[in-house]
């Protein structure tokens, strides 16, 4: 399962790497309105094509009358995997900080070509995503998580103290081995924990942490950057990820002890 999620992420990487450039070029040639119209048409076409994809693993649901029950919070949030979701949110928080403040950091420190960070990261993600999936399927989540958290800490510290473009590029590589490996492994673990009948609940719960991290990260980061500067902004990200190591260790210990 982890390997499959890794391959699925490659399509997102390609879209992120080339989509903005294609969109900007199309907007310059044909105008903004026509560009978004074509984009909407492509999305609709893709949605229609989804109906023709085979789903061999779908389990047929018996046509039996089930008693209706009230909707509870546990039907919306799977609390048993919420810790994994929140730990995963730390990676997305770092992603939000880089997306929001990296260009500003480059301008302040006179680092030209800062956009190479995103290109290099996307290229390395093509290799790290499938690799992490195979590693998770073979050896389990901890084999992926501890190195991923460590790599992400190094990435944040490199950006915090970057004075040249090579440090930014190196940070992009570490990010690919950090968030790039952790995300598919965490998502696969959520699916595995809840089982095949609750894949939708597992996916929605996982993205709670992702949305919180991606959304709240820049808000908190803006406050830190305005008062302490960009260096402490990314130092804060590294500190949060360090706390993530301890949080995952506690979660992993409790999870393992529950099996005995």
What's CA 195's distance to the chain center, in Å? 22
Instruction: Kindly write down the DSSP assignment for every residue of 38-105, as one continuous string.
Output: HHHHHHHHHHHHHTTS--TTPPPPP----------GGGT--TTTHHHHHHHHHHHHHHHHHHHHHHHH
pLDDT of residue 131: 85
Of residues 260 and 126, more confidently modeled: 126
At residue 184 the predicted structure's pLDDT band, cuts being 50, 70 and 90, is confident
Q: What is the mean pLDDT of the chain?
A: 84
Q: Does residue 123 have a pLDDT over 90?
A: no
pLDDT of residue 125: 87
Q: Which residue has the tokens 């992400």?
A: 152
At residue 65 the predicted structure's pLDDT band, cuts being 50, 70 and 90, is very low
Enter the pTM of the model.
0.78
Q: Does residue 148 have a pLDDT over 90?
A: yes
Show Cβ contacts of residue 106 under 8 Å, excluding neighbours closer than 6 positions: 112, 114, 168
> What integer is the mean pLDDT of 2-13?
57
Q: Does residue 56 have a pLDDT over 70?
A: no
Percent of the chain with pLDDT over 90: 40
Give the range among 131-135, 144-148, 157-161, 188-192 with minimum mean pLDDT: 131-135
Q: Which helix (H) or strand (E) holds 206?
A: helix 199-228
pLDDT of residue 20: 63
For 207-259, the pLDDT digits (tens) are 999 999 989 999 999 999 999 999 999 999 999 999 999 999 999 988 875 54
At residue 165 the predicted structure's pLDDT band, cuts being 50, 70 and 90, is very high
- Residue 33 φ then ψ, to 5°: -65, -45
The winner for highest mean pLDDT among 58-67, 134-143, 161-170 is: 161-170
Nearest to 96 by CA among 203, 215, 180: 215
For 92-114, the pLDDT digits (tens) are 999 899 988 998 999 899 998 88
Q: Does residue 17 have a pLDDT over 90?
A: no
Structural domains of the chain sorted by starting position, each given as residue range(s) with its CATH number in brackets: 2-43+79-257 (1.20.1250.20)
Query: CA 193 to CA 1: how far, in whole Å?
Result: 12
pLDDT of residue 260: 45
Query: CA 191 to CA 194: how far, in whole Å?
Result: 6
């Amino acid at each position: 399962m982890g390997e499959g999620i890794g391959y699925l992420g490659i399509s997102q990487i390609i879209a992120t790497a080339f989509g903005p450039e294609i969109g900007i070029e199309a907007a310059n040639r044909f105008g903004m309105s026509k560009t978004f119209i074509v984009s909407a048409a492509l999305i609709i076409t893709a949605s229609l094509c989804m109906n023709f994809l085979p789903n061999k693993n779908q389990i047929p649901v018996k046509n039996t009358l089930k008693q209706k029950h009230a909707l509870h919070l546990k039907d919306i949030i799977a609390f048993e995997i919420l810790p994994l979701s929140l730990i995963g949110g730390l990676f997305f928080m770092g992603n939000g900080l880089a997306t929001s403040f990296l260009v500003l950091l480059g301008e302040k420190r006179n680092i030209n070509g800062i956009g190479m960070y995103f290109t290099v990261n996307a290229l390395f993600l093509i290799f790290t995503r499938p690799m992490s999936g195979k590693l998770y399927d073979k050896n389990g989540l901890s084999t992926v998580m501890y190195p991923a958290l460590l790599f992400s800490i190094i990435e944040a510290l490199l950006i915090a103290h970057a004075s040249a473009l090579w440090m930014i590029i190196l940070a992009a590589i570490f990010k690919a081995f950090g968030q790039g490996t952790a995300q598919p492994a965490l998502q696969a673990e959520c699916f595995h924990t809840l089982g095949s009948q609750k894949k939708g609940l597992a996916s929605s719960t996982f993205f709670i942490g992702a949305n919180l991290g991606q959304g709240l990260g820049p808000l908190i980061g803006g406050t830190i950057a305005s008062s302490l500067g960009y260096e402490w902004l990314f130092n804060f990200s590294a500190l949060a990820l360090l706390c993530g190591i301890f949080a995952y260790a506690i979660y992993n210990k409790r999870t393992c002890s529950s099996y005995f």
